[in-house]
Amino acid sequence: MNQTRRGLLASVATGAAAIAGCAAPRSADSEGSESPYTRVYSEVLPSVVVVHVADNGRKVGQGSGFAIDPQTIVTNHHVVDPGATVTVRLADGEWADASVVGSDRHSDLAVLDVGSAVSVSETLSFVTEPTPVGAEVVAIGAPFGLSESLSRGIVSARGRSVQGLSRFSIPAAIQTDTEVNSGSSGGPLVDLAGDVAGVVFASQGGNVGFAVSAALATRVIPELRETGSYDHAYLGVTILTVEPQIADANGLDRPRGVLVVETTDGGPSDGVLQPSITDSGDADSDAADSDTDDPPANGSEPTPDEPTPDQPQSGAAAIPTGGDVILAIGGSEIDNTDELSRVLALETRPGQTVPIRVLRDGEEIVVDVTLGTLPDA
């Protein structure tokens, strides 16, 4: 019997065994293979801590955090904001007093120092490139106080603007379907390589959670460590994404850019960008009557929620017209309020003069705006 025939018969025999319900023996490698979630959990867990906050000896808050060096912990601003005394429980069960080195309510980030009495054995690094939509991620923290918990999911979207602790949004946020709950805040959202894609800060239920992106965190955290605070760029406008009805009302050939509804008196854009008027002829100070489902953009004022489409309306809200339509800031095209928020947060700084390309009275022009500092309120 020649080699070809023997090979063919061997293949047939293997197929027959499979048909008979027999499986080929698993290799030692497959038997000993480890789940990627088990591996990343074991690698990341030593860096994760539980953060306790007390006021006058009474516990007032709890969250999660993670070490970026042996004495430095990253968590959320809202985790440590309520109280004066902060302690952390390390993964090995040891407790340590911590001091707040810096905190920023606009990004909801805080940095803690656990001093030299303890040392976190393992530390985490942030991703250097944005984690793509669809990539698997895990969150490790203490939801509902249940420490050392892991949940898994994917990156659902990037570049979200999410309502934060002030009237301004947290820009460039990661949306994930990874289960996060009260107590998860401040913990790491990591990719399967064990690098931090974001810092968990919010959940809206229904498997919709959010994390401060690594891109924003790596801008804010170094300054929190060095100076205790961080200044965000501020444009000082109320804006709306140009959707079809706004484009039609403003005579635009297609929906594009964001409409300047209002400029803040005395703000960076006052007298430089042209705000809208409503169709009733009132000044743009009536912008609170306009419709939008856009969240507040960082560096801009918030805009109101849009009424639910299937609810009866007592009267149609006025559509603002006549204002500048922002098309680009610097070299970045602006398609919606989320993108304007992202560009301001990640590509500009207070005091910087930026060229802004706008559509005004049917013509594209470029104006220069010197950015301010985002107010604390």
Domains for the chain: give ranges and CATH numbers: 26-229 (2.40.10.120), 233-308+315-373 (2.30.42.10)
Kindly state the tokens that stand for 267: 């703000």
Q: Are strands 58-69 and 208-213 parallel, antiparallel or unpaired?
A: unpaired
The single residue of 104, 108, 113, 324 carrying the catalytic annotation is 108
Record the pTM: 0.82
Query: For position 21, what pLDDT does the model report?
Result: 45
R_g of the chain computed on alpha carbons:
26
DSSP H helical segments within the chain, as ranges?
3-19, 28-31, 36-44, 77-80, 214-227, 244-249, 337-347
Query: For position 153, what pLDDT does the model report?
Result: 98
The answer to whether 237 and 257 are in contact (CB under 8 A) is no
Query: For position 68, what pLDDT does the model report?
Result: 97
pLDDT tens, residue by residue, 59-102: 889 999 999 999 999 999 999 976 679 999 999 999 999 999 99
Round the average pLDDT of the chain to a whole number and report it. 84
The single residue of 52, 77, 78, 106 carrying the catalytic annotation is 78
Which one, of 133, 118, 151, 132, lies nearest residue 49 by Cα?
118
Query: For position 377, what pLDDT does the model report?
Result: 67
Sequence-distant (6+) residues with CB within 8 A of 64 are 48, 49, 50, 51, 75, 79, 140, 141, 142, 183, 184, 185, 186, 187, 200
The single residue of 149, 185, 269, 300 carrying the catalytic annotation is 185
Please state, in angstroms and rounded to a whole number, the distance separating the CA atoms of residues 212 and 78: 13
- The yes-or-no answer on residue 185 being catalytic is yes
- The yes-or-no answer on residue 78 being catalytic is yes
Series of mean pLDDT values for 10-residue runs along the chain (377 residues): 41 39 45 85 97 90 96 96 85 94 96 89 95 98 96 97 89 97 96 98 90 98 97 96 94 94 96 80 36 45 36 55 96 96 97 97 96 90
Query: For position 301, what pLDDT does the model report?
Result: 46
pLDDT tens, residue by residue, 200-247: 999 888 899 999 999 999 999 999 999 999 999 999 999 999 999 999
